[in-house]
Amino acid sequence: MRFALLLLIACGACGYHVAGHVDTLPEQIHTIAIPAFTNATTQYKIADTITTAVAHEMVERSHYRVVANPEDADAVLNGAVMTFTSYPTTLDQNTGRASGIAVILHLKISLTERPSGKVLFNRPDYMISEQYEISVDPKSYFDESPAAVDRLSRDVARSVVSGILERF
């Protein structure tokens, strides 16, 4: 018991914290607007999916109220999907068809304090990737790409929100 108490005090003194529970934004920030991300790609609805995932993650992991209208917020999180690239990573030896696909996404992300215009977080070339498998059997083929885009969106959201809250 005594050791656990000493460990707790020591960890608290060295700045240790549980990831996702630190908040380094200015204390005057109470609401964050997350308008729809823009999409400079031909990938259908990718920006909508990412915007929704980021807003959901912000609500789940922070005390901030998330709104859509920038005029109603203390800070505005803007995002743009710049590129969406996919390519085969593995091929089925029997058919020559792709059996694995990699997706690479580049975004621009910035969080700005609305009244002052001060940039609180900025990632002008944020990159994330995801891999998924494709069935090579035409009878059991299942299009995995929507599920991969959902996973990719959740990964983007976790990373963006962690970066904002923890100043990574």
Alpha-helix residue ranges (DSSP H) falling in 28-128: 46-61
CB 124 within 8 A of CB 111: no
Do you know the residue count of the chain? Answer: 168
Tokens at residue 94, please? 């029997």
All domains of the chain in start order, with CATH: 2-166 (3.30.160.150)
Which helix (H) or strand (E) element contains residue 83? strand 75-91
pLDDT for 25 beyond 80: yes
Helix (H, G, I), strand (E, B) or coil at 65: strand
Give the pTM.
0.77
Comparing C-alpha atoms, which of 16, 17, 20 is closest to residue 162?
20
115 φ/ψ angles, rounded to the nearest 5 degrees: -65, -40
pLDDT above 90 coverage of the chain, percent: 54
Sign of CA pseudo-dihedral 57, 62, 63, 64: negative
CB 75 within 8 A of CB 115: no
Digit-coded pLDDT (tens) for 85-125: 988 888 777 877 777 888 899 999 999 999 899 999 999 99
